[in-house]
Amino acid sequence: AQVIERLTDVLQDLAGADGVRAVVLDAAGKSFSAGADLHWMKQAATFSEAENLEDARALSQMLNRLSTLPKPTVALVQGAAFGGGVGLMAACDMVIAVADAAFSLSEIKLGLIPATISPYVIAAIGPRQARRYFLTGERFDAHEARRIGLVHEVVEDAEALAAAGKRMVERLFAAPPGALAEAKDL
């Protein structure tokens, strides 16, 4: 809940920041995002329906801000991207992943469904692929993620990931900010 709130606030600030031309989501640790904290999810199981709805709306608002941010967004993925982490990626404009990254829409294994992230995931990979991965929760690699449209580019290691991210940002900087915002809105 704290990460969602903080990311929502940061995205709101970045949306109106004149000096910001692109936003890069990158992992500080070994994983991009392994999804929701299991301790928090167990606690959420005791929440009322209204409290759970409030949590879902907070996540939905954050993903919408990311998806509609008037700046291009690039996700650099390493390690695990599970559950909500896949939703974060799918809400970004471009995704570059390390070859050994692992992906899973794992909610089903916890008796949940990926409802809040589903519009972004379906838009990225299509209904048929989404149905498969929503129902199985199976893990897949970066090459499969690229094949189904979740990832745009696969690189070999963390060094190549940083270099590919830099190249992508340089490409974005070659276009006027207004044109990028209009193209994204289109």
Catalytically annotated residues:
107
Q: Which residues fall within 8 angstroms of residue 116, CB to CB, at 6 or more apart?
A: 56, 59, 60, 63, 87
Identify the CA nearest to 91 among candidates 6, 164, 7.
Answer: 7
Phi/psi of residue 78, nearest 5 degrees:
-135, 155
CA-angle at 31, arms to 146 and 117, nearest 5°: 60
Residue type, 141: D
| Sheet of 153-155, strand order | 23-26, 73-77, 94-98, 153-155
């929440």: which residue's tokens?
Answer: 47
Tokens encoding 166: 């830099």
Q: Which residues fall within 8 angstroms of residue 2, CB to CB, at 6 or more apart?
A: none
First CA to last CA distance, the chain: 31
